[in-house]
Structure 1
Amino acid sequence: MTSVSEGPFGRSAVSSVTPGAPRTTPRAAPRTTSGAALRTALRTDDGVRIEAVYEPGAVEGPSFDGTAEGAADVTAIVLAHGFTGSVDRPAVRRAAGVFAGRAAVVTFSFRGHGGSDGRSTVGDREVRDLAAAVAWARSLGHRRVVTVGFSMGGSVVLRHGALYAERPEERADAVVAVSAPARWFYRGTAPMRRVHWLVTRPTGRLVGRYGLRTRIDSEQWDPVPLPPVEAARRIAPAPLLIVHGDRDAYFPLDHPRSLAEAAGEGAELWLEPGMGHAENAADENVLTRIADWAVTA
């Protein structure tokens, strides 16, 4: 296929992450929350504080001093939400709850979202946030970590899978991209034109800040990050699953098909009948099947 360099989320951001960037060191200030969950703050390698939650799932008797009894043999799923989401949004908590029936789960808010610091770069520097969350999961004892991203988060897990493959503490052992774009600056649907207005216009960024609790960077990408379709080519030998609804109003089916074609034999493609866009549209059946794939791939 012919690779293209267009894509979804408009221009926001600052310089892109490259494979030579300094490794992320999560610096946690943990406090326990209800039940066995742990809420903490991570620090990315560029100094942004990221809120995160760990749910041990199948792990019994965790101790939150950097180890967890039995964690080494339990898969950890790191969930990367979509644009304007956050760790506490109902759709994210619902997905995390389903995943926790099969694995330990780390959820977090991308920079500029929810209670995290910084400003959203709409998929560029967010790979640093994901790297911090993956490193935290490994620091809790999990030898196998799978990233699952929705929409913007789907583009982030693809780029992270390509850029961090050689970093043992921050890499993903398998990648799941749900409702992800294949290319940047895509404006072919009405919802994506609204997203571009939100990201590129001062009034839109005010709506994002005060209406959606999302603080968006006003700077353009320089350089433009690695496109998701190019990232998909580089993820193998790690397994890759691409999930997309046939009623997705944001990205039509040429996006997941382009990603799968780029990845070649290293990817599975699920086109879900009746499913719309991202974590809000993924029902329990889809989420359970994703979790089952994550722990067995």
Structure 2
Amino acid sequence: MNASRRAATSGASPRYAGALHAAIALLGISLGVVVTAIGAISVRVARRVVTPADRVTDTRIVDLDTSAQTVTLTRNADTELPGRYGLFTSGTLPYVKLGSVLSEDQGTVKRKLLTHVDSGAHLSPDAAFSGWYYDRPEDLQLPFRNELVGSPLGPCPAWIFPAEVDSDLWVVQVHGRGTTRAEALRAVPLFHSLGYTSMLVSYRNDGEGPRSRTGTYALGATEWRDVDAAIGHARRLGARRVVVMGWSMGGAIALQVELNSPHQDVLVGLILDSPVVDWRVVLQYQARQLRLPAPVTGMALGALGSEWAAPVARTGGAIPFDRLDGVARASELHHPILLLHSDDDGFVPSDASHDLAAARPDLVEMHTFTVARHTKLWNYDQERWSQAITEWLRRRGLTVEGEDAGN
């Protein structure tokens, strides 16, 4: 019995060991496949963060009534907002201005057209809802001129809207990720009424400024140099007090200007609309919105912040998240900051803005909105947005006396 059992055991042992080794090998291969898949997805996510992309369609035109001059859109958190907006589409017109909501149901929203659309017009159903409102400088009916700003990479086109009366007050407007300088046109009339010359700038890889070797964003880490060149250009044209206003990623760029610019003596303040203050907070939030697994998010951030991953992520170099963290570097700030952010932003969470205001209450004043969504504060509540900026500037003596704030 013992000999028989030993024989059976000795015969089963090699088979068991072989099966175990095969299972371990299979598990190792499976884990390798999973890790490789997570790595590949993470690299794709990392590339998406830094790669300039075409405008994403986020709504559809369900009905166009040219007799009533109305358009019906599929309903979402943006298209149902009160206020004035814009709509990018294709066909007869590439862009139309939208007015107030006239009616709505569970799935659609009907809005007034503020751009006249002829009866024979055809608009593509696919459309992108926008907070721009103005899409061309001519829409403002204010004098302006085109300029080229010499930046480290090459010429950056800019629009300059001169003040009505000669003044040393300038505002340099910095647009956000995936947009162009037209995003800031809606701010020009207010600053014009307060005696400012407005300069709307482009920067590397935004589709108007020069292209870097990789053609990708550095999330503010290099783009600030182009904005700093614009401040130098403004200085040569007579600017002695410069406010930098940044929208979304433009806020991250503006903060880097504040932290790094050699033109500290002419900078007098920052105004940040829906700004990126800490990229890690933003990217983690967006990853959760997309329901990305935590390992993918972690590896994507690691790839973006690593030199070794730069060739595959096409970043051109590690993204310096620590240097781009405005909260961590709050003690290095010198000039007053006005923060305007909606707690219902939906794209760039307001958490880091609140943290920055708490870290530097001596410098930072924050106005919190609700409902207004991302970079649509002007559209949603133009009066409050204008009043917040006007009062903040006037308290600091940064307006031309006798000018009334306009809308």
TM-score (norm 1): 0.68
Structure in which a larger fraction of residues adopt strand = 2
- Aligned residue in 2 for 1:144: 241
1:188/1:153 Cα in 2 relative to 1: closer, same or farther (>3 Å)? same
Matched residue SS, 2:352: helix
- What is the aligned counterpart of 1:49 among 137, 144, 155? 155
- What is the aligned counterpart of 2:219 among 122, 139, 162? 122
Matched residue SS, 2:361: helix
Paired AA for residue 156 in structure 1: I
Corresponding residue pairs, total? 233
Aligned pairs for 1:190-229 within 5 A = 218-219=314-315, 221-222=317-318, 224=320, 226=323, 227-229=325-327
Q: Which has the higher contact order (CA 8 A, sep 6+)?
A: 1
Deviation of residue 234 (structure 1)? 1.6
- Aligned residue in 2 for 1:94: 186
The superposition leaves residues 37-78 of structure 1 with CA deviations (integer Å, 9 ceiling, x where unpaired) of: 12111121x22321111111333xxxxxxxxxx323xx2111
Q: What is the CA–CA distance in structure 1 between the aligned matches of 2:394 and 2:177, rounded to whole Å?
A: 26
* Higher gyration radius (CA): 2
- What is the aligned counterpart of 1:288 among 386, 395, 400? 386
Aligned pairs for 1:243-262 within 5 A = 243-262=340-359
Unaligned 5+ segments in structure 1 are 1-7, 14-32, 60-69, 201-216
- Aligned residue in 2 for 1:235: 333
Deviation of residue 230 (structure 1)? 3.0
- Aligned residue in 2 for 1:172: 267
- What is the aligned counterpart of 1:105 among 190, 198, 222? 198
Q: Which moved more, 1:222-231 or 1:133-142?
A: 222-231
Contact conserved, 1:122 with 1:152, CA < 8 A, in 2? yes
1:192/1:228 Cα in 2 relative to 1: closer, same or farther (>3 Å)? farther
- What is the aligned counterpart of 2:278 among 168, 183, 204? 183
Matched, 1:270 2:364: no
1:100/1:35 Cα in 2 relative to 1: closer, same or farther (>3 Å)? closer
1:192/1:50 Cα in 2 relative to 1: closer, same or farther (>3 Å)? farther
Matched residue SS, 1:176: strand
Identity, % of aligned positions = 22
Q: What is the CA–CA distance in structure 1 between the aligned matches of 2:170 and 2:316, rounded to whole Å?
A: 34
Contact conserved, 2:243 with 2:269, CA < 8 A, in 1? yes
1:10/1:131 Cα in 2 relative to 1: closer, same or farther (>3 Å)? farther
Matched, 1:36 2:133: no
1:223/1:151 Cα in 2 relative to 1: closer, same or farther (>3 Å)? closer
Q: What is the CA–CA distance in structure 1 between the aligned matches of 2:208 and 2:394, rounded to whole Å?
A: 29
Matched residue SS, 2:271: strand
Q: What is the CA–CA distance in structure 1 between the aligned matches of 2:279 and 2:245, rounded to whole Å?
A: 20
Q: What is the CA–CA distance in structure 2 between the aligned matches of 1:183 and 1:241, rounded to whole Å?
A: 17
1:272/1:151 Cα in 2 relative to 1: closer, same or farther (>3 Å)? same
- Aligned residue in 2 for 1:27: none
Q: What is the CA–CA distance in structure 1 between the aligned matches of 2:289 and 2:155, rounded to whole Å?
A: 29
1:263/1:10 Cα in 2 relative to 1: closer, same or farther (>3 Å)? farther
Deviation of residue 221 (structure 1)? 4.1
| RMSD value, Cα | 3.1
Deviation of residue 286 (structure 1)? 4.4
Deviation of residue 83 (structure 1)? 0.6
Q: What is the CA–CA distance in structure 2 between the aligned matches of 1:77 and 1:192, rounded to whole Å?
A: 34
Q: Which moved more, 1:221-230 or 1:105-114?
A: 221-230
Contact conserved, 2:219 with 2:253, CA < 8 A, in 1? no
TM-score (norm 2): 0.51
